[in-house]
Amino acid sequence: MATDSWALAVDEQEAAVKSMSSLQIKEEKVKPDTNGVIKTSTTAEKTDEEEKEDRAAQSLLNKLIRSNLVDNTNQVEVLQRDPNSPLYSVKSFEELRLPQNLIAQSQSGTGKTAAFVLAMLSRVEPADRYPQCLCLSPTYELALQTGKVIEQMGKFHPELKLAYAVRGNKLERGQKISEQIVIGTPGTVLDWCSKLRFIDPKRIKVFVLDEADVMIATQGHQDQSIRIQRMLPRNCQMLLFSATFEDSVWKFAQKVVPDPNVIKLKREEETLDTIKQYYVLCNNRDEKFQALCNLYGAITIAQAMIFCHTRKTASWLAAELSKEGHQVALLSGEMMVEQRAAVIERFREGKEKVLVTTNVCARGIDVEQVSVVINFDLPVDKDGNPDNETYLHRIGRTGRFGKRGLAVNMVDSKHSMNILNRIQEHFNKKIERLDTDDLDEIEKIAN
């Protein structure tokens, strides 16, 4: 893409970001340089290990870019709390004896937020002007996102009000809250329940703990959540939701939710079966770029994602591709989450045909038009060993929606060849060599 059209694209992108300005996570502003490449004041190289996003930022990004529910064909696993549970033989909702305590695990985009919002809305008495439902979120930004869903789903009950127990929302001492639903972060909610007494925890009917896997990764949140739970009445309905279910999450869940029913939905497994994999031998970065240009010159590529090991390489590559006339978007970890969401949305809409990224985009984005994924640098962990999981997530961006995909790996040293061989062995899938100087050979892989 030429520099002037890139500048127009950035203007559009920034306009989209402004609509979400209340959710900023970092104050650092991101501006394009003369080549149209987004950089920050930090110029030091960062490895993709350092780029790995904290779970809260990744969860927020998923919420911002999801426009519909994930289509998951896996079976739901239900673990009842006892053999006499009505879930064993229930034939109607009335027989369920709701409400019941629940622990639920499923991947992002499967409707967890809608599920617990419905539970809260169904239990609230709008005429009673005091907090009846309490929802904990691990961060300010995630609390705001969940609040938006509550406001949208509860819009037909204008008498229903929502309060945010988050930083910056200061109330006067002795004041009582009249809003029926309170959503906030553990530290502020704990203060409102105990020290400041804005909320009477004994009157809470529904307690929701969202993003449990993110919650336990944040210092102090686990203990604060447990302290809040212990203030609640015994007949309060407890609901805990998590995208993942490691042992640490399960132990935490058992402390917070007594006698639960447990629902698990496995993550849709990514596979290499529909992806043709190749590697290209090069001597340096410039040869890798030339091989990339040869690929684009020989085959039709609807949209491509190109993964780099460092921000510096990603910035350089985006600038070089822009000079060649390609419509390029750049994504990396120093951008605000809302800016990343805007970049991904533009790429999804086809406004840019090439997305150059570090590891921040290895998972969570589904774009039907992505036909090629290129590992400009192979993924390695902090010790320099192959990062097989990241490789799977990266090339899993293609070959989706029942289509054939193409993955091309750039190899520029004995070390990277060794990494490639170990990836081959791990997945037991042959990665064929591709000569990008041979036009006929390149055209064959497109068929």
Most confident of 37-41, 116-120, 363-367: 116-120
* Secondary structure of residue 205 in the 3-state scheme: coil
Q: Is the pLDDT of residue 28 over 70?
A: no
Q: How confident is the model at residue 316 (pLDDT cuts 50, 70, 90)?
A: very high
Percent of the chain scoring above 90 in pLDDT: 47
Comparing 358 with 324, the larger pLDDT belongs to 324
Show which of 226, 243, 265 is a domain's final residue: 265
If one counts the domains in the chain, the total is 2
Q: Is the pLDDT of residue 30 over 80?
A: no
How far apart, in whole angstroms, are the C-alpha atoms of residue 353 and residue 304?
7
pLDDT at 40: 35
pLDDT at 81: 54
The answer to whether residue 156 sits within a structural domain is yes
- Same domain flag for 261 and 274: no
How far apart, in whole angstroms, are the C-alpha atoms of residue 342 and residue 345?
5
The answer to whether residue 61 sits within a structural domain is no
**pLDDT averaged over every residue in the chain:** 80
Q: How confident is the model at residue 209 (pLDDT cuts 50, 70, 90)?
A: very high
pLDDT at 120: 96
- Same domain flag for 131 and 244: yes
Show which of 265, 291, 312 is a domain's final residue: 265
- Same domain flag for 319 and 412: yes
- Same domain flag for 224 and 238: yes
- Same domain flag for 257 and 277: no
Show which of 248, 265, 282 is a domain's final residue: 265
Alpha helices in 80-211 (DSSP H): 112-123, 140-153, 186-193
Q: What pTM, to 2 d.p., does this model score?
A: 0.64
The range of the structural domain enclosing residue 249 comes to 76-265
Spatial CB neighbours of 151, under 8 Å, sequence gap ≥ 6? 162
> pLDDT tens-digit profile of 364-414?
566 667 889 999 999 998 888 998 888 887 887 776 655 678 999 999 999
pLDDT at 62: 76
Q: Decide: 354 and 331 in contact? Cβ < 8 Å.
A: no
pLDDT at 190: 97
> pLDDT tens-digit profile of 124-147?
999 999 999 999 999 888 898 899
pLDDT at 168: 85
How far apart, in whole angstroms, are the C-alpha atoms of residue 34 and residue 115?
47
Which residue shows structure tokens 């984005």? 365
The answer to whether residue 293 sits within a structural domain is yes
Q: Decide: 138 and 56 in contact? Cβ < 8 Å.
A: yes
- Same domain flag for 46 and 86: no
The answer to whether residue 71 sits within a structural domain is no
- Same domain flag for 105 and 191: yes
For the segment 278-284, the average pLDDT, to the nearest whole number, is 96
How far apart, in whole angstroms, are the C-alpha atoms of residue 135 and residue 150?
11
Q: How confident is the model at residue 293 (pLDDT cuts 50, 70, 90)?
A: very high
Q: How confident is the model at residue 29 (pLDDT cuts 50, 70, 90)?
A: very low
Q: For the chain, state the CA radius of gyration.
A: 25
The answer to whether residue 44 sits within a structural domain is yes
> pLDDT tens-digit profile of 321-332?
999 999 999 988
- Same domain flag for 257 and 274: no
Phi, psi dihedral angles at 59 (to 5 degrees)? -65, -40
- Same domain flag for 171 and 124: yes
- Same domain flag for 261 and 294: no
pLDDT at 412: 95
The answer to whether residue 67 sits within a structural domain is no
The CATH number for 162's domain is 3.40.50.300
pLDDT at 291: 94
Q: Which two tokens stand for residue 122?
A: 């169904």
Q: Is the pLDDT of residue 353 over 70?
A: yes
- Same domain flag for 96 and 241: yes
Which residue shows structure tokens 């969940």? 146
- Same domain flag for 22 and 115: no
Which residue shows structure tokens 């309490």? 134
